[in-house]
Every structure is written in structure tokens, then in C-alpha cells.
Amino acid sequence: MNRRYSGIGMTSQRTRGRLIERLREQGIQDEVVLAAMNAVPRHIFVDEALASRAYDDVSLPLGFGQTISQPYTVARMIEILRDGRPLKRVLEIGTGCGYQAAVLAQVAEEVYSVERVQPLYERAAEYLKELQAHNVTLRYADGNMGLPEVAPFDGIIMAAAATHVPPTLLKQLAVGGRMVLPLGAQEQYLCLIERDAQGYRETRLETVKFVPLLMGKA
């Protein structure tokens, strides 16, 4: 196993356990999500110079104008997406370093994740291979388009803020499915979209801060 994965100190179970307790204190109640967060070694997804902060509840820079989301935000969005139910096929827009995809892999049968920045896509592929996350499929593509060839998804999660809900992604959400995304330009908030037989229902949740959703590949 890679030395970064099996290191000591910051990677210890005690350090990770303290993070899980903080998440509980902040209101994360889904034990399946908490177990998933506990199972994924966040330190392997960040630059080694920042590894000592890997289990702090903060976002950290990845380069290319991107960040790894703070653990609370990852846990909160996945808790909303799950809503206490098993997840079969999930689409993630914005793989970044692959951390959230690795957590999703613990709670969903199949995870498809799209990244538009090629060096990040390649890095995430390496990390997820190291973790043996065999149920994650990565695609280097424009996330605005989703993945119509493998739709529908019973969960869609976005790691970048859109100014509006992308209609292409709405079409790829299964009936009974949920989509969680940050919306807004200057002021952003988490938005939950639920699809039923009658159509779509939108719920505005708490304020957040994400990098913007961009078009095309880079």
C-alpha cells in the first residue's frame, strides 16, 4: 500500500474520529454518511504540504482555481442526497481531487463523476485507483452536459455553483431522485431538487461558498 495512505500521525484513526465527532456536533445525523467519511482518508487527496490540515473542517486549495470542499459540506450534501435511503446510481459534477467521489463510493452502488480540468481528472483517477474504489467511473468532460448515456440517476450532486439549475441535468434525474447543488453568483445557497411524477420541486437551504461552474473542458 502507498506510504501516503499508511502513514501515521495525521492519518491516525483517532484524528479522523475527532473529525467525525465534530460533524456530529454540527448536526450530521446520518450514520451511514458518518461511517463513509470515517472510512475515506482525506489526507491522500490534498497536497502533502497541506496534509497536516486534512482533518480540519476547512476547504483547501487544489490548484487550477479549485478547492477540496470542507468535510462538513461534503457530509451535509451527501446526507441530503441520501435522505435515509439507499443510493443506486449517482452523478457527481466536479470531481476535483476525487475526495467526494470516494465518500459517495461508500454509500452508492455506482458513482459517475465528471471533471473538466484534465490534470485534476488524472490526479483523481490515480487516488481512486489507490483506494480501490472500483464502483467509481470518472469522465473527462463538460459537467454541464451530464452523462446522458448512463442516465437516469437517482442522485445528482454538484461541487460547483451554477447561476441556474442546468436543464440538461434535470432531464437526467430519475423520477423519485434528488439533486443537490449550490446556486447563485455573489450569494450562494444549497438547493435541493426533488423529482416526482408531477415534476420538480425546489427547496432552498443554507448559504454556501463554492467555485463557479464553468463551461467546456480545460
**pLDDT, tens digit (0-9, with 9 covering 90-100), for 193-217:** 999 999 999 999 999 988 777 776 6
Whether residue 52 lies in the annotated active site: no
Give the model's confidence band at 48: pLDDT under 50 very low, under 70 low, under 90 confident, else very high. Answer: confident
Confidence of residue 15 (pLDDT cuts 50, 70, 90): confident
Beta bridge partner(s), residue 9: none
Nearest to 72 by CA among 117, 37, 113: 37
Q: What is the C-alpha separation between 150 and 172, in angstroms, rounded? A: 9
Average pLDDT over residues 10-27: 86
Q: What mean pLDDT, rounded, does the chain reach?
A: 90
Q: Are 120 and 45 in contact (CB under 8 A)?
A: no
Distance CA 169, CA 191 (A): 14
- In the structure grid, which three cell numbers stand for residue 44, read together? 491522500
Q: What angle do CA 65, 116, 128 make, to 5 degrees?
A: 90
| pTM for this prediction | 0.91
**Which of 12, 59, 69, 113 is an active site residue?**
69
Q: Are 213 and 144 in contact (CB under 8 A)?
A: yes
Q: Which residue has the higher pLDDT, 1 or 99?
A: 99
Judged by average pLDDT, the poorest of 101-105, 112-116, 160-164 is: 160-164
Task: Determine what percent of the chain is predicted with pLDDT higher than 90.
Answer: 73
Each domain of the chain, given as residue ranges in start order, spans 9-208
Per residue in 52-107, pLDDT (tens digit) is 888 888 888 777 767 788 999 999 999 999 999 999 999 999 999 999 999 999 99
DSSP the chain: --TTTT--GGGSHHHHHHHHHHHHHTT---HHHHHHHHHS-GGGGS-GGGGGGTTSSS-EEEETTEEEPPHHHHHHHHHHHHTTS-EEEEEEE--TTSHHHHHHHHHEEEEEEEESSHHHHHHHHHHHHHTT-TTEEEEES-GGG--GGG--EEEEEESSBBSS--HHHHHTEEEEEEEEEEE-SSSEEEEEEEEETTEEEEEEEEEE--PBP--S--
pLDDT at 118 over 90: yes
Indicate if the pLDDT at residue 7 is higher than 70. Answer: no
- Rounded to whole angstroms, the Cα distance separating 38 from 106 reads 10
Could you tell me which residues are beta bridge partners of residue 79?
none
If you average pLDDT over residues 168-172, what whole number do you get?
96
| pLDDT score for 55 | 87
Fold annotation for 9-208: Rossmann fold (3.40.50)
Distance CA 51, CA 48 (A): 5
- What's the confidence (pLDDT) of residue 2? 47
Q: How many residues does the chain have?
A: 218
Q: Summarize the confidence of residues 22-39 as an average pLDDT.
A: 96
